[in-house]
Amino acid sequence: MLDDSTSAVMTNGSLLDARNLRKSFGGVVAVDGFSFTVKRGQIVAIIGPNGAGKTTAFNLVTGVHPLTSGEIHFCGQRIDGLKPYEIAERGISRTFQNLQIFGNMTVAENVMVGRHPRSKAGILSAALSLPNARAEEKRIFEVAMQNLKVVGLAHRAMDAASSLPFGSQRLLEIARALAVEPKVLLLDEPAAGLAGQETKDLAQLIYRIRDSGTSILLVEHDMELVMGVADWVFVLDYGKLIAAGTPSQIQSDKKVIAAYLGEEMD
Amino acid sequence: MRNRIWFATSLAVVLALLILALGGCAGAPAPTPTPSKPVATAAATPAPAKASPVASPAASSKTEPAASKEPYKIGALAAVTGPGSSLGIPERNTYQMLEEQVNKSGGINGHPVQVVIRDTESDETKAVLATKKLIEEDKVLAILGPSLSGESLAIADTVTKAEVPLISAAASIMIVVNKDGSIPKWVFKTPQSDALIVKTLVDHLKTKGYNKIGWLSVSNAYGDSGTTEFQKLAPSAGLNIVAKETFAATDTDMTAQLTRVKGANPDAIVVWSIPPSAAIVSKNAAQLGIKQPVFQSHGIGNKAFMSVAGPAANGVVFPAGKLLVADALPDSDAQKKVLLQYTKDYTAKFGADTLSTFGGHAWDCFWVVADALKKSGPDRAKLRDAIENTKDFVGITGVFSFSAKDHNGLDNRAVTMVEIKDGKWVPAK
Amino acid sequence: MLEVVGVSTYYGQIQALKGVSLSVNDGEIVTLIGANGAGKTTLLNTICGVLAARRGDVVFDGQHVTKLPAERIVRLGISHVPERRQVFGEMSVKDNLILGAYHRYGKEKRAVIDRDLETIFELFPILKQREKQAAGTLSGGQQQMLAVGRGLMSRPRLLLLDEPSLGLAPMLVREIIRIVGELRDRGTTVLLIEQNARAALRIADRGYLIETGRIVLEGTAAELIANPIVQSAYLGKGYHHVS
Amino acid sequence: MERNGIGKYENYITLGALIVVMGSLPLLLSNSYHLSIMAFIGINTMLAVGLCLLMGYAGQVSLGHAAFYGIGAYTSGILTTTFKMNPWLAIGVAAVFTGVVAYVIGVPMFRLKGNNLAMGTLGFGIIVYIIFVEMRDWTGGPSGLTGIPSLSIFGFTFDNDLKYYYLIWAIALLFLVLSLNIVNSRVGRALRSIHGSEIAAETLGVNTNKYKIQILVVAAMYASVAGSLYAHYLTFINPQPFSFKLSIEIVVMVVIGGLSSVWGALLGAATTTVLSEVLRGVIPQFLKGATGEYEIVVFGIILMVVMIFLPEGLFSGSVRIVKSWRREKESKQRTVDETAIVEPSSVVAEGHLAVEDK
Amino acid sequence: MEFYQQVLQYLVTGVTLGSIYAIIALGFITIYNVTGIVNFAQGEFVMLGALIAISLYKNQVPIVVAFVGSVMVTTLIGAALQRIAIRPAKGASTLTLIIITIGASITIRGLGLITWGPDPYSLPAFSGDQPIAFGGAAIIPQSFWVFGATIVVLGGLYAFFEWTLLGKAVRACAINVSAARLMGISPSSMALFSFALSAGLGAIGGVVMAPMTLATYDMGSMLALKGFVAAIVGGFTSTPGAVVGGFLIGILESMGAGLISSGYKDAIAFVVLFLVLFLKPNGLFGGRDTGRGGL
């Protein structure tokens, strides 16, 4: 699935191209005319204070919420209006800020769910446990284990997912999303709640994922991580884009500092 | 891995224990089996199905000190709970009362009688299980009841295969006449069939000159059977059904149906149901200012109808057995003595306003069997033959004369028209 | 006044607080700062009894309140203004305030409570104007004021404030912070959580920096605001050269 | 690999043990009363296993499951009496027909969620019941449908309880196996993911609506076969057994057994069926002359007590108890504190974070 | 009888029926809002209300006293149910709690059968049986009592929730439990109170309907079913919604029975309700998270 993307990528090289995203809930505008692009091989971050609309933007891209207006293009095709599972099938997968681990499954099974769009055994062949379904099941398991190895959780594969510590659950979500073989992986605050060393490992993991050919869109509060890994940063405040640029450009942007640390009071 | 196997086996053991618990509880008098000795408990379960219909000496209890001989065990099914409970409870009461009476007076041929009563919960599946329990574990000679037509039809196959006589206390004619017109060998019933009752009603309506009939029935087997019979008989009597409505047994207001019936402008209204819905219809009719006479079915044959319908009950006419108007019967009536005696016994034991025709059906079921047992002795096949040969048996519902062609054994003398007047049942004019 | 000793709190198996200790003295504003997910809210929830500490002790005015449920702790004089305001959106502004004094009815004179209500309205005149309006229809800033007002209605001796400036426009942040200062001047002790560290430290007497469930720094407000670690905790290392 | 700590091996072992137990049980229980209790447990198991897939795995409530049971029973009954169809063929036709009905109502129904879905399914059950009552020409109305033939194959007639016992349990165990296969497959994971987090499932490429409908169809077909067997076993049906009351009873079976496992459905079906029969035998021994009224009171109390003390159901409840007991034993052997192993190095994100961060 | 008169009669009947359903629906949402439990024993509260009042009345207690006494006793039973059966089930899922209420309903119904037997009972109408003509339709005085009771209950609930501190506390608990706790409101007490209130509401409904609909030990199941549906149609959280839902079902049922087919009346009502749900998936008044909870 990764190979055919090359041809589909538009001339400007952008894989994911969101234009003028707007989303209002009732009267509240959560995302207001936000445009951004993710190019192949890039790590892009969206930052902003709490409530700035970052997660909403993720929900729009993944089809969890319908757009109020705007367009989303992916590999040259419009994907806004598609169902979340259709978007996942096209190659966008994500993690969640508040973890959405399937607590009723083992660690391995969680990742195996991620293989869903890349496998096809139906309910009948499953019920009858037909040879092709069993063979596929075996492959699904193998790929899942590989993905678990990538995040370093292979040793916990058979444990109940709910028994994992919090940080590992974050990694599990990443492994699960990777199992989809996404062209773009959306990480929603992957470092929230991670300890120092874990965050460093996470940065390494993000690089590895990028190097394997998956672009990354990141929402994160941990600035050290963002500034360290991101190629490009978009800053949202009150649903609006207030700045965009390389990490160093962003770090010296007065507007950004004000948005974060609060304005100088005098 | 060992733990897993251990777990799986323990699960299987638990399952097996559950099943054995069932066997133990059901079969042995001990309330609960000893879990540690499941096999022993299972062994205590009575012998397999093909046992002789004669009550086996080993299995029977020794609880009747009064009589010297082995008790005759008779099974009884009643819808004590569930929607049929207004039928099942007076039936259950009657069985309990009769068992006591008979045993006090020396039993049948010197044998005490034991009536094993099981609740069917007004549920067909439960009725089948209860029937099998009566046959297999209690080894009853015959089964009385159940209360409802559906239950009776559901267990018909079971009693036929097991060759146990069944005397149903339910109304539907389908219980004793198969689809192809043949008569089920082992199944009898005591309540008047709807055909009989409807015939009496139709005749009455015709005599009174009511031609246009508004018909309301409850949408269950009782109402349905009445409707079918009425539709069959009405045309030949020149009656015209101008409106036909149904309601659910649990409905709390029938004004809409009555309004439609009223709109059709009938000469008389017939309601085929049991209380409380039957009473609600009468009340609603009064409230809507419906002037036409309201006829009801024999389903309202207990005081509950009168007490809840209040003034609206006044003037309601319905076909029923003679039990309700026993007082007013001429002394020449063959049933009068029996009816008065039952009324006296039942109300003395269970209270003044508790009498109902359903208990009467149970009385008939019990005595038809008891009577036949006197002749046949404890043998299911002989008992069946004796029941089929019962002639001119004076019961509560009527005078029974069974035959190979008629397993209900009643004729239209068993039905009379009753009117409710000032809280009393009187023969209708 | 408040003494938190070695408190550890878990969500299921996940440990959110790892032996946190802090203290708040009478009449102080103490602020707790730290990045998202560091455990600030968990700590407040543990103090006020919404969460139960698995280890450690919370002592308020010499009384151990560790095991008490939230509804009992309020009665002792700790009032918690929770994050995201959590006003009762379908109820009127006034009803929200009245509920703030829920446990006082029956114990105190009606007039006293009514007077407190007037005091709140003096403090937040906008709430007086919107008295009958449903709380959910207020703007974010007004809701925040309502939440604070509601918290004050229980006449707390210690007020726990969880991110009162969250999602508010800068002008409103200033207003809220000003009010917190005013509260202290009126004699209420405050434990404040703020993302807006500069604003918080400006009015606070002392502060604690919390990181991944542990207190990593404590000091007076002035000390903290000058400490580069505080900045890096928010915007990442290599950031502190910008001022 | 099942979520409640009992895995594939346990499944196979339990299944094997069950087959042996069920196969040899008639040696102990040759009495036809016991056999027919077992037969009804088998029928209830088919109902409960189907509903368990829908409720426990896909997390979708149904308060109208009795309707599918009834559709199966009536389709079989009508085809074999009115149209004289071969009963086996009729069972198949009924199952397919019920599946189609389930599909047709599933498509709009699963647009509803939570209580609305509960009401939708409840309404469906009631409408189907009304159809059984009102379409008298087909169904015989409330009086019911008599003369449904017993099953027979190659001259071998299922004419006694023992034969039905084996037939019903063969099919019930088949359904159990099929269900276990589904549960431990790609499709089963998809279903469980819906229950775990519908939103996460969708973003991982699971067409949640499709699977909800598929599993409804499977559950409906199970129920249909159960209904057909019921009809041919009793040779008589009327609308009464297919009412709202049964729908609730099936839900009770599933919950009391434990929602989280197919085995729980079996256990729940067995427990509720056996319990009401056992009470029938036991109660009169404590209360002379007591009949039905007291039985249902005690049944209700037992139901409450079980749910209060084993809120996750008999199956998961006992698994938990066994496990904690085992863990206790192990921890006595090892001095290592278990919490040390799972000592998390992280902190949970604060408070209750909505997916929406607006 | 003219057609429009018939329709008017159906409407009158529908409103009366709807009033009954509405009171029961109010009982449902009272518990649901606070605890998230769909209380399947709600119908049994109605039964207890009616039958206890009847028993008192039969023992020469004046009807007003019987009414009040019955409501009080039923309220206590509701509270006892919460304390005995719901509160001990700590940490149980909502579904488990719902099954407990099913067990409670079976138990209470069985006790009802033991106490009162299977026969129906009646109360005399509060103000006579003489129907009042209304544009060709007949209205019985008890209808006004039922309708009036619904309005009074609705008004009473409104006043209670709007104007009393306890009412506000209950609402606060329904809106946001954890914030309510921070106000010093104990969710457990509120749950107890909601069961008691709900039982009381059911009892009021039971007593006022008894003269019309009669009372039997098993009257609860059907009424609970209709009341449950009414509550859902109204959004399951909204007080006026429950009342409107009740009226809607009552009128649909009566119109369906009168104008189309009495056998299919419930089916007709359900089909219309489906359409309502598909068009307004949150119910008529369901603003807040109807999808949550119970089932």
The angle formed by the CA atoms of residues C190, C191 and C192, to the nearest 5 degrees, is 105
D335: pLDDT strictly greater than 60: no
Residue B215 CB: number of other CB atoms within 10 A? 26
pLDDT in tens, B299-339: 888 888 888 888 889 999 999 999 989 988 999 999 999 99
B65: pLDDT strictly greater than 50: no
Banded model confidence at residue C150, pLDDT cuts 50, 70, 90: very high
Q: Do chains B and C touch (3 or more CB pairs under 8 A)?
A: no
Sheet arrangement for strand B416-421? B240-247, B212-218, B268-272, B294-295, B317-320, B416-421, B424-427
Among the listed ranges A44-53, E61-70, E168-177, E247-256, which one has the minimum average pLDDT value? Answer: A44-53
pLDDT in tens, B358-400: 999 999 999 999 999 999 989 999 999 999 999 999 999 999 9
Q: What is the pLDDT of residue B185?
A: 95
Q: Is E212 on the interface with B (CB under 8 A)?
A: yes
Q: Which amino acid is at D69?
A: Y
Q: How many domains does chain B have?
A: 2
Dist CA A175 CA D289 (whole Å) = 65
pLDDT in tens, C176-219: 888 888 888 888 899 998 767 777 888 899 999 888 788 988 88
Contacts of E64 (CB under 8 A, 6+ apart): none
Mean pLDDT of C98-106: 91
Residue B58 included in any domain: no
Contacts of D335 (CB under 8 A, 6+ apart): none
Which tops the pLDDT comparison, D339 or B228?
A: B228
Q: What is the pLDDT of residue E135?
A: 82
Q: Is D351 on the interface with A (CB under 8 A)?
A: no
Residue E110 included in any domain: yes
Q: What is the pLDDT of residue E12?
A: 92
| Closest A-chain CA to C83 | A50
Banded model confidence at residue B190, pLDDT cuts 50, 70, 90: very high
A177: β partners: none
Pairing, β B113-119 against β B72-78: parallel
Give the domain range for residue C32.
Answer: 2-87+156-235
E86: pLDDT strictly greater than 90: yes
Residue E229 included in any domain: no
Q: What is the pLDDT of residue E85?
A: 93
Which tops the pLDDT comparison, B285 or C178?
A: B285
Do B147 and B200 share a structural domain?
no
Q: What is the pLDDT of residue C234?
A: 59
D residues 105-144 lying closer than 8 A (beta carbon) to E: 108, 111-120, 122-124, 126-127, 130-131, 133-134
Dist CA C158 CA C139 (whole Å) = 26
Contacts of B251 (CB under 8 A, 6+ apart): B277, B280, E222
What is the DSSP secondary structure assignment for residue D149, as one 8-state letter?
P
**CA E280 centroid distance within chain:** 23
How many angstroms separate the CA of residue E141 from the nearest CA in chain D? 32
Q: What is the pLDDT of residue C240?
A: 36
Q: Is D160 on the interface with B (CB under 8 A)?
A: yes
Task: Assess contact for D160 and D32: CB atoms under 8 A.
Answer: yes
Dist CA C71 CA A203 (whole Å) = 43
Task: Assess contact for C80 and C48: CB atoms under 8 A.
Answer: yes
Dist CA C131 CA B62 (whole Å) = 82
pLDDT in tens, D56-97: 999 998 999 999 999 999 999 999 999 999 999 999 999 999
A202: pLDDT strictly greater than 50: yes
The secondary structure element, H or E, covering residue C173 is: helix C170-185
DSSP codes, chain A: --TTHHHHS-TT-EEEEEEEEEEEETTEEEEEEEEEEEETT-EEEEE-STTSSHHHHHHHHTTSS--SEEEEEETTEE-TTS-HHHHHHHTEEE--SS----TTSBHHHHHHHHTGGG----HHHHHTT-HHHHHHHHHHHHHHHHHHHHHT-GGGTTSBGGGS-HHHHHHHHHHHHHHT--SEEEEESTTTT--HHHHHHHHHHHHHHHHTT-EEEEE-S-HHHHHHH-SEEEEEETTEEEEEE-HHHHHT-HHHHHHHH-----
Q: What is the pLDDT of residue E102?
A: 94
Phi, psi of D14 (to 5 degrees): -60, -40
Q: Do chains E and B touch (3 or more CB pairs under 8 A)?
A: yes
What is the DSSP secondary structure assignment for residue B69, as one 8-state letter?
S
pLDDT in tens, D98-116: 999 999 999 999 988 888 8
Q: Is A160 on the interface with C (CB under 8 A)?
A: no
Dist CA D75 CA D228 (whole Å) = 8
Closest CA to D265 of D51, D71, D112, D111: D51
Q: How many domains does chain C have?
A: 1
Task: Assess contact for A191 and A222: CB atoms under 8 A.
Answer: yes
Residue with tokens 């049980």: D25
Dist CA C53 CA C43 (whole Å) = 9
Q: What is the pLDDT of residue E288?
A: 44
Mean pLDDT of B9-34: 45
Mean pLDDT of E42-48: 97
Mean pLDDT of E47-52: 97
pLDDT in tens, E129-188: 788 888 888 888 999 999 999 999 999 999 998 889 999 999 999 888 889 999 999 999
Q: What is the pLDDT of residue B39?
A: 36
Compute the Cα dihedral for C218, C221, C222, C227 and give only its sign: positive
What is the DSSP secondary structure assignment for residue B281, as one 8-state letter?
H
How many angstroms separate the CA of residue C118 from the nearest CA in chain D? 32
| Closest D-chain CA to E265 | D130
Phi, psi of B263 (to 5 degrees): -60, -25
Query: How many residues in chain B?
Result: 429
**CA D312 centroid distance within chain:** 16
**Hey, are the CB atoms on D205 and A129 less than 8 Å from each other?**
no
**Hey, are the CB atoms on D346 and A28 less than 8 Å from each other?**
no
> How many Å is the maximal CA-CA distance in chain D?
74
**Hey, are the CB atoms on C98 and E172 less than 8 Å from each other?**
no
Determine what percent of chain A is predicted with pLDDT higher than 90.
59
D177: pLDDT strictly greater than 50: yes
Give the domain range for residue B165.
Answer: 68-192+332-411
Residue E60 included in any domain: yes
The secondary structure element, H or E, covering residue C29 is: strand C29-33
Dist CA B194 CA B174 (whole Å) = 10
Site from B257, B287, B300 to mutate, E interface, most E CB atoms within 10 angstroms: B287
Give the domain range for residue E176.
Answer: 22-220
**Hey, are the CB atoms on E113 and B85 less than 8 Å from each other?**
yes
**Hey, are the CB atoms on C15 and D347 less than 8 Å from each other?**
yes
Residue E247 included in any domain: no
Contacts 24+ apart (CB under 8 A), B12-17: B12/D14, B12/D17, B12/D18, B12/D20, B12/D21, B14/D318, B15/D18, B15/D21, B15/D267, B15/D270, B16/D21, B16/D25
Q: Is D231 on the interface with B (CB under 8 A)?
A: no
Mean pLDDT of A229-237: 92
pLDDT in tens, B49-60: 333 333 333 333
Contacts of D234 (CB under 8 A, 6+ apart): B124, B125, B128, B154, B157, D148
Dist CA B24 CA B36 (whole Å) = 13
Banded model confidence at residue A55, pLDDT cuts 50, 70, 90: confident
Residue B55 included in any domain: no
| Closest A-chain CA to D345 | A195
Q: Is E258 on the interface with B (CB under 8 A)?
A: yes
Q: Is C11 on the interface with D (CB under 8 A)?
A: yes
Tell me the average pLDDT of chain B. Answer: 84
Dist CA B21 CA C90 (whole Å) = 55
Closest CA to E75 of E95, E107, E49: E49
In sequence order, which ranges of chain D are alpha helices (DSSP H)? 8-28, 32-52, 65-81, 87-109, 114-134, 136-139, 161-183, 186-196, 198-203, 208-234, 244-257, 262-286, 292-309, 314-333, 338-342
Please state the ipTM of this predicted complex: 0.86
Residue C24 included in any domain: yes
Q: Is the peptide bond before B276 cis (omega within 30 degrees of 0)?
A: yes
Q: Which CATH architecture has domain D8-311?
A: Orthogonal Bundle (1.10)
Dist CA E275 CA D255 (whole Å) = 30
Q: Is D38 on the interface with B (CB under 8 A)?
A: yes
Q: Is D212 on the interface with A (CB under 8 A)?
A: no
Banded model confidence at residue B11, pLDDT cuts 50, 70, 90: low
Q: Is D319 on the interface with E (CB under 8 A)?
A: no
Q: Is C82 on the interface with E (CB under 8 A)?
A: yes
Burial of A210 (0-12, 13-18, 19+ CB in 10 A): middle
Banded model confidence at residue D158, pLDDT cuts 50, 70, 90: confident
D223: pLDDT strictly greater than 60: yes
Chain A residues lying within 8 Å of C169, measured CB to CB: 238
A86: pLDDT strictly greater than 50: yes
Contacts 24+ apart (CB under 8 A), C107-116: C113/C153, C116/C152, C116/C153, C116/C155
B406: β partners: B403
Q: Is D184 on the interface with B (CB under 8 A)?
A: no
Site from D338, D342, D346, D350 to mutate, C interface, most C CB atoms within 10 angstroms: D350
Chain E residues lying within 8 Å of B123, measured CB to CB: none
pLDDT in tens, E213-267: 899 999 999 999 999 999 988 888 888 899 999 999 999 999 999 999 888 999 9
DSSP codes, C131-156: TTSBGGGS-HHHHHHHHHHHHHTT--
D4: pLDDT strictly greater than 70: no
The closest CB to that of D189, out of A30, A59, A105, belongs to: A105
Residue B180 included in any domain: yes
**Hey, are the CB atoms on C74 and E183 less than 8 Å from each other?**
yes
Token duo for residue E282: 């949150």
Q: What is the pLDDT of residue A88?
A: 95
Q: Is A197 on the interface with C (CB under 8 A)?
A: no
C236: pLDDT strictly greater than 70: no
Banded model confidence at residue D332, pLDDT cuts 50, 70, 90: low
Closest CA to D224 of D107, D66, D118: D66
The secondary structure element, H or E, covering residue C194 is: strand C189-194
Among the listed ranges B209-213, B293-297, E266-270, which one has the minimum average pLDDT value? Answer: E266-270
Closest CA to B6 of D312, D16, D13: D13
Residue B21 included in any domain: no
Q: What is the pLDDT of residue C177?
A: 82
Token duo for residue D71: 């559709």
| Closest E-chain CA to D126 | E267
Tell me the average pLDDT of chain C. Answer: 84
pLDDT in tens, D120-144: 999 999 999 999 999 989 999 988 8
Phi, psi of A30 (to 5 degrees): -90, -40
**Hey, are the CB atoms on D21 and B16 less than 8 Å from each other?**
yes
**Hey, are the CB atoms on E176 and C70 less than 8 Å from each other?**
no
Touching chains, A (3+ CB pairs < 8 A): C, D
Mean pLDDT of D223-242: 95
Whichever domain contains C213, its CATH number is 3.40.50.300
Chain B residues lying within 8 Å of D291, measured CB to CB: 78, 80, 92, 117-119
Query: Coil, strand or helix: which one is D290?
Result: coil
Q: How many domains does chain E have?
A: 1
Residue D58 CB: number of other CB atoms within 10 A? 26
Residue with tokens 């997910």: C37
Q: What is the pLDDT of residue D331?
A: 60
Token duo for residue B328: 């007013």
Dist CA B303 CA B299 (whole Å) = 11
Chain C residues lying within 8 Å of E176, measured CB to CB: 86, 88
B240: β partners: B212
pLDDT in tens, B119-167: 999 999 999 999 999 999 899 999 998 999 899 999 999 999 999 999 9
Q: Do chains A and C touch (3 or more CB pairs under 8 A)?
A: yes
- Select from 3.20.20.100, 3.40.50.300, 3.90.79.10, 1.10.3720.10 the CATH code of A1-91+185-266: 3.40.50.300
Task: Assess contact for B302 and B352: CB atoms under 8 A.
Answer: no
Do B316 and B199 share a structural domain?
yes
Which tops the pLDDT comparison, E289 or D241?
A: D241
